[in-house]
Structure 1
């Protein structure tokens, strides 16, 4: 396959990991289309009249649509156990609807009760989510299609036939083949890694060109690089989840082995991102060569990428003479690209020794996909300013109450617009509290439903004229809309509603009830339902977005603290103690758990990244998410760095890990955007442990695979806490007790023991030494000689006699001078 076409195929594979959306769309369209034919044949065999045929076909379509979503996975027994209750759920709703059909007031009251119960039962898992929805749909059909008791045998029969048909399809033609799906998800991981390389190549290309737009193109390219790096972590979690499916792993592989292989590949990609970003920011003349390397990697020209990596490494020069700018970043990028290509070459080869430990995935699957925001917000309590006993209710009970209140209001207001079509307002309300966790998500879903309905209205009017008089054209349009709507569902809910609005228009056209006024009425009722739903989400037991973000962010910091403590244990004793409940732990699993914590945070924080919620700054939210994403990346790198046996004594590094763990714990209870002063003390201890008087040779601090991620974590946590976790040699006058002693700085720089008797002084001395050491590392790691003389902490030259008050300098000199 030519490189360009191969890259286009990679983009398609990367956009739909495991082809999950395509599988859902095909399953929904095939199940619904065939169920219509099966139910038509069933009703005809029974000699049903026109109303009976219509009810049978509609019930079959509903069972097929819901069943195709519910009967996912590869476990046939689980599918049978789930499907056997479909007729009970729909039949129960139908019986309740027929029983109260004689009284409008009673029918509407029971409608609200059914809505409450349909949401309340979600607490018992995904299967009951579908049962509740089916019971609600059964009551809806019974209330508005007015079947009689004499039709119940046919209705039950139609439901059983529809259930049997969709179950048969789900275990035969539409069955999920777990090994094949896992291979596709792993293929999507590789494709997204290549997409990261493409974004890096674009960034370097912009850096190699004249700046004609004020740097906007470079900033866009840098943001695109960050987004693709985040999407790579997401598909890595999908591999994690599918690895736990029964029979999914190929022979010779185990869950821990596949997790380890992907973490190694992800670490290589992270190195590519860091190198590309550094080269682009520094305007290095090596950026052009690096862009060529990443372009070849993106086009799957792995042999060409290896040649380009060698050429880039050669272009950095030898260890003599003046190195070109960006030499160190270019070498790191070349090494990372070579490592990824080497891993890609053996991607299908199982490890030499298979793991035998039990595999516990960091995240599970929900209907074939990663869990959404409702699962994230499930255990988040309502934040109230005054005492409210209802605030202690769990999420499903709260949403059931919200749905009941909103449904009641939708019935009252909707009936003012239409006595017969008010159910569109009720449907809008019910769906707004389905698949949402916070009030911001509820609002966005209502807006998407309204916009999708509005745009679909115009399309429906046009298509009604095109398909008028042709039953075949109407059915084809309905099935096509079903397919496209399901395919786009996880990308754009508004687009799905656009397709559903067209389906509704086609249905009314087939029933000879279509009119422009009818669709306008649907838009009005939908608007009423959306407004009521949002008002209830805000006023009745609201789950605030900021409060949810704060809670999930705290869980992320707690997970980071747990990982840092585990690293410290690994450095101190060579093993990791089990969790409090006795569950074994490993660093790879903790790293993947941290990845999932960040995914959860990004899900619930998404509304805050847009200018839709008052009283916040989207740019600041995006910046804090970027800081947390970087912290997760460096934490993962830390787990990779401590795998092997280390020759040196890592007591100080373990101390730094534990200090950073304390800082993470203290950040867990902080509101985003607010300072956390008590995090400064453990950050100070970590700073002293990492840099206080070690006397390491220049260059080791940048290249050390353990201390380098810890340095980055320290700085990121300090910025998130909005405290100065180290003295930078700029603040404090000559009489300030925090001012470091120059003689002590010289002693520490020369390798003398640090002044442990004075923690503040030790901290300041260590930080000054650290800043100078970083300057030396950048020079010596690039092959340059260590400069002699006096230097400020920012790396600029100084004279001892000319150091102004409030600034501090130290002399770079060989040990013992």
Structure 2
């Protein structure tokens, strides 16, 4: 076989001379409109399921109604001045915490949590008022309370919420200087707010799981369309991403994040009219992702883009069928197995890094093999010890700075350990709280005096600030700290104690608490982010091993329908959830203010991109394997003789990753490509795994990864045009694939009936081209892009399979 090109060197595989073929005119591509991204898609993509918008709106509405109910209660009781403010503050605090933490998936569960939280708050307030006359005892008990409320987190989200509210009750009692004699008023305020919040949560603003699922699917579709448009026209990417070599992989990761959110939402009762359809929705989402991956392989493949649109339409059809109550189509596999989500959502969000760090630090008798060193201390116990030490130091040093406002240091310290699992995450949150407080104080120094002491204006500012803080909370904790600081400034204005010096003291105490929290996190029972990141990669390798083993069994025809049949879609989704854990844990490691963050950033980005590519190839392989299984079910005579070597090589590479070994002989391909999708996807996954071995050579080991191989230079796109012909010069239908030096597929097209093809590759360096035509020996050779290149391929005939 020979490649002949004008203006470029020739790379040959056969020694026999062949007559040069006459250059042929490439096929004419369909004209398309320029790629665009609609504003609506940007908005949908920014907030999957409108979860942040719903949370912020519910918080603002709940707070407005709570303040109104508290004001009425204060008027009925004849309270005024500071006493009325106490009622308002209690209602506001309980409302904000309940809105954020009462996130049970069922109405009954939410009702139980709504009743449990005020009880926990009253316990905290009562404990504080019982010892309010003895300062040393009060502060010492505060440390004990901090330890206890963190320790109970092991019992689940409701225990976490109750612990937070109990701690806040103790804190508010100190902040408002409540006495035991005021408990009846406190009880009335808390009870009134509890009843109101129950009415809001279950009647006025109930959660609607089916609507949230529909919106999450819409967000998924928006992210798919954005990824496709930005791939066609990189100028559509944000300016800070246009020169990023991992921009495409990040776009795919964002698409997959929405897909995992959909997967988690499917397990929420009420999301589907027929819960048995959850597997159908999952399958439709994965098919859309697989179609997207094929479209991203070639910028000019109109058919691939149309396939993406069709896949999204099929997903909508599945949801419409569920809503309309239409029966499930019979795919010949029987009833689906009980649905298990890849990730359990909390209030509509993906879980934090604790699900990876927790098993890593579990006792030896509870730890799973390969989870790392056991410490004999659960994560909740470890954090309880940390917060007890940090809280004690914050009380002592904060009191030295200000005997009245020391609690701000404790608040900053305590919240730095909330929702975090590694030392880097704790430091990141502490820094964000300090920055947010500083910005909030600067704004408050200008806004509060300008607005004056009008109660109506102050309440409006509080509600707007609360909405902004809750809406941007998951984007940046800095925004929440900013909003809370502005709210506190307005509160002090209403109390008549506002001053510039008071706000400056708040900044100082907050910074002190943040520093204490960071120092304790890195020096006392630390959990390093690097160790957690290695654990996440080890988990990824195991998930990859399980997924490829099940795919290999299906491809080889070793599975049977029934309860024991492997669920390839569930395997692929579990791998995706593990990828997102790696991405989450790596965030604080690459921050500019973290030591070595700027140096680690490129390494972490390339490593994550390599894992993302492997997950993409696994999803595409899953779809190809299931299509093969369907074909085999309708025609049992279908056989694929060449998949054995490919599956063995892929599994060998995955086993090496999981065991921290080099790829060895599995690095080299010992099979020829074919035109069928299974072999094509196996080859693509093999190339992605080889690249992963180069970038992340010790995925499961404790030693640091070796230096990454440099990414191929990407310059201006150059065209490669050509035709696949038989020995008589007639065109052949074939699959043409271009692979970069790391084994990652860069372009893939199917030729037309006349054998013509056209694709684009970067014009810097050499690229591997693989051509496979049914019934012919495959061709593999090097090419270099060039605007006017003409490539002519003559595959030699072999015995047809």
TM interval, shorter chain, is: 0.7 to 0.9
Displacement of 1:151 in angstroms is 1.9
Could you tell me whether the CA contact under 8 Å between 2:647 and 2:682 is conserved in 1?
Answer: no
Partner of 2:454: 470
Is residue 2:358 matched to residue 1:378?
Answer: yes
Residues 62 and 555 from structure 1, CA distance in 2 versus in 1: closer, same or farther, beyond 3 angstroms? same
Provide the rounded CA distance (Å) in 2 between the counterparts of 1:561 and 1:243.
Answer: 26
Provide the rounded CA distance (Å) in 2 between the counterparts of 1:515 and 1:532.
Answer: 26
Q: State which of 45, 48, 58 in structure 2 corresponds to 1:17.
A: 48
Q: State which of 309, 319, 323 in structure 2 corresponds to 1:341.
A: 309
Is residue 2:572 matched to residue 1:591?
Answer: yes
Which deviations, in whole Å up to 9, do the C-alpha atoms of 1:580-600 show, x marking residues without a partner? xx8763001111111111011
3-state DSSP of counterpart to 2:297: helix
Structure 1: runs of 5+ lacking an equivalent: 207-215, 277-329, 671-675, 724-769, 797-810
Q: State which of 663, 666, 685 in structure 1 corresponds to 2:653.
A: 663
Of 41-50 and 410-419, deviating more is 41-50
Is residue 2:532 matched to residue 1:557?
Answer: no
Of 67-76 and 511-520, deviating more is 67-76
Provide the rounded CA distance (Å) in 2 between the counterparts of 1:771 and 1:142.
Answer: 61
Displacement of 1:109 in angstroms is 0.5
* Richer in strand (by share): 2
Provide the rounded CA distance (Å) in 2 between the counterparts of 1:193 and 1:235.
Answer: 10
3-state DSSP of counterpart to 2:496: coil
Residues 17-96 of structure 1 aligned to structure 2 (within 5 Å): 17-48=48-79, 50-72=81-103, 75-96=106-127
Structure 2: runs of 5+ lacking an equivalent: 1-33, 322-327, 365-371, 699-740, 758-770, 785-793
Displacement of 1:492 in angstroms is 1.0
Is residue 2:156 matched to residue 1:125?
Answer: yes
Is residue 2:460 matched to residue 1:486?
Answer: no
Residues 182 and 703 from structure 1, CA distance in 2 versus in 1: closer, same or farther, beyond 3 angstroms? closer
Q: State which of 231, 249, 257 in structure 1 corresponds to 2:280.
A: 257
Could you tell me whether the CA contact under 8 Å between 1:771 and 1:793 is conserved in 2?
Answer: no
Residues 405 and 680 from structure 1, CA distance in 2 versus in 1: closer, same or farther, beyond 3 angstroms? same
3-state DSSP of counterpart to 1:172: helix
Residues 587 and 347 from structure 1, CA distance in 2 versus in 1: closer, same or farther, beyond 3 angstroms? closer
Could you tell me whether the CA contact under 8 Å between 2:295 and 2:304 is conserved in 1?
Answer: yes
Displacement of 1:636 in angstroms is 0.7
Which deviations, in whole Å up to 9, do the C-alpha atoms of 1:11-57 show, x marking residues without a partner? 11111111100110011111112111212222332334544322222
Partner of 2:7: none
Partner of 2:685: 710
Residues 393-408 of structure 1 aligned to structure 2 (within 5 Å): 393-408=377-392
3-state DSSP of counterpart to 1:19: helix
Could you tell me whether the CA contact under 8 Å between 1:569 and 1:576 is conserved in 2?
Answer: no
Partner of 1:103: 134
Q: State which of 263, 273, 276 in structure 1 corresponds to 2:296.
A: 273
Displacement of 1:74 in angstroms is 5.4
Q: Please tell me the root mean square deviation across aligned C-alpha atoms, in Å.
A: 3.5
Partner of 1:445: 429
Could you tell me whether the CA contact under 8 Å between 2:653 and 2:689 is conserved in 1?
Answer: no
Partner of 2:329: 353
Residues 683 and 159 from structure 1, CA distance in 2 versus in 1: closer, same or farther, beyond 3 angstroms? same
Q: TM (normalized to structure 2)?
A: 0.77
Is residue 2:349 matched to residue 1:369?
Answer: yes
Q: State which of 151, 155, 160 in structure 1 corresponds to 2:191.
A: 160
3-state DSSP of counterpart to 1:248: coil
Residues 535-574 of structure 1 aligned to structure 2 (within 5 Å): 535-574=519-558
Displacement of 1:778 in angstroms is 9.0
Which deviations, in whole Å up to 9, do the C-alpha atoms of 1:387-446 show, x marking residues without a partner? x99932111111111101111111111111100101110000000000112111111111
Displacement of 1:217 in angstroms is 9.1
Residues 780-791 of structure 1 aligned to structure 2 (within 5 Å): 783=756
Provide the rounded CA distance (Å) in 2 between the counterparts of 1:655 and 1:4.
Answer: 41
Provide the rounded CA distance (Å) in 2 between the counterparts of 1:463 and 1:266.
Answer: 48
Residues 236-247 of structure 1 aligned to structure 2 (within 5 Å): 236-247=259-270
3-state DSSP of counterpart to 2:339: coil
Which deviations, in whole Å up to 9, do the C-alpha atoms of 1:318-356 show, x marking residues without a partner? xxxxxxxxxxxx3xx322211122233444323761664
Displacement of 1:143 in angstroms is 2.5
Provide the rounded CA distance (Å) in 2 between the counterparts of 1:338 and 1:543.
Answer: 47
Provide the rounded CA distance (Å) in 1 between the counterparts of 2:742 and 2:58.
Answer: 59
Partner of 2:619: 636
Displacement of 1:462 in angstroms is 0.7
Q: State which of 567, 573, 582 in structure 2 corresponds to 1:601.
A: 582
Partner of 2:17: none
Provide the rounded CA distance (Å) in 2 between the counterparts of 1:376 and 1:519.
Answer: 39
Is residue 2:403 matched to residue 1:419?
Answer: yes
3-state DSSP of counterpart to 1:411: helix
Provide the rounded CA distance (Å) in 2 between the counterparts of 1:364 and 1:491.
Answer: 20
Provide the rounded CA distance (Å) in 1 between the counterparts of 2:750 and 2:295.
Answer: 21
Displacement of 1:193 in angstroms is 1.1
3-state DSSP of counterpart to 1:391: coil
Could you tell me whether the CA contact under 8 Å between 1:641 and 1:705 is conserved in 2?
Answer: no
Q: Work out the number of aligned pairs and report it.
A: 666
Partner of 2:603: 620
Partner of 1:737: none
Residues 393 and 584 from structure 1, CA distance in 2 versus in 1: closer, same or farther, beyond 3 angstroms? farther
Partner of 1:510: 494
3-state DSSP of counterpart to 2:139: helix
Q: State which of 452, 456, 460 in structure 1 corresponds to 2:440.
A: 456
Provide the rounded CA distance (Å) in 2 between the counterparts of 1:389 and 1:269.
Answer: 40
Which deviations, in whole Å up to 9, do the C-alpha atoms of 1:709-764 show, x marking residues without a partner? 333344234424549xxxxxxxxxxxxxxxxxxxxxxxxxxxxxxxxxxxxxxxxx
Of 134-143 and 248-257, deviating more is 248-257
Residues 389 and 397 from structure 1, CA distance in 2 versus in 1: closer, same or farther, beyond 3 angstroms? farther
Could you tell me whether the CA contact under 8 Å between 2:48 and 2:219 is conserved in 1?
Answer: yes
Could you tell me whether the CA contact under 8 Å between 1:663 and 1:717 is conserved in 2?
Answer: no
Provide the rounded CA distance (Å) in 2 between the counterparts of 1:80 and 1:651.
Answer: 59
Provide the rounded CA distance (Å) in 1 between the counterparts of 2:177 and 2:394.
Answer: 21
Could you tell me whether the CA contact under 8 Å between 2:617 and 2:681 is conserved in 1?
Answer: no
Q: TM (normalized to structure 1)?
A: 0.75
Displacement of 1:493 in angstroms is 0.6
Which deviations, in whole Å up to 9, do the C-alpha atoms of 1:614-655 show, x marking residues without a partner? 355211111111111000000111101111335664465245
Could you tell me whether the CA contact under 8 Å between 1:71 and 1:167 is conserved in 2?
Answer: no
Provide the rounded CA distance (Å) in 2 between the counterparts of 1:205 and 1:89.
Answer: 50
Displacement of 1:205 in angstroms is 8.8
Provide the rounded CA distance (Å) in 1 between the counterparts of 2:129 and 2:240.
Answer: 63
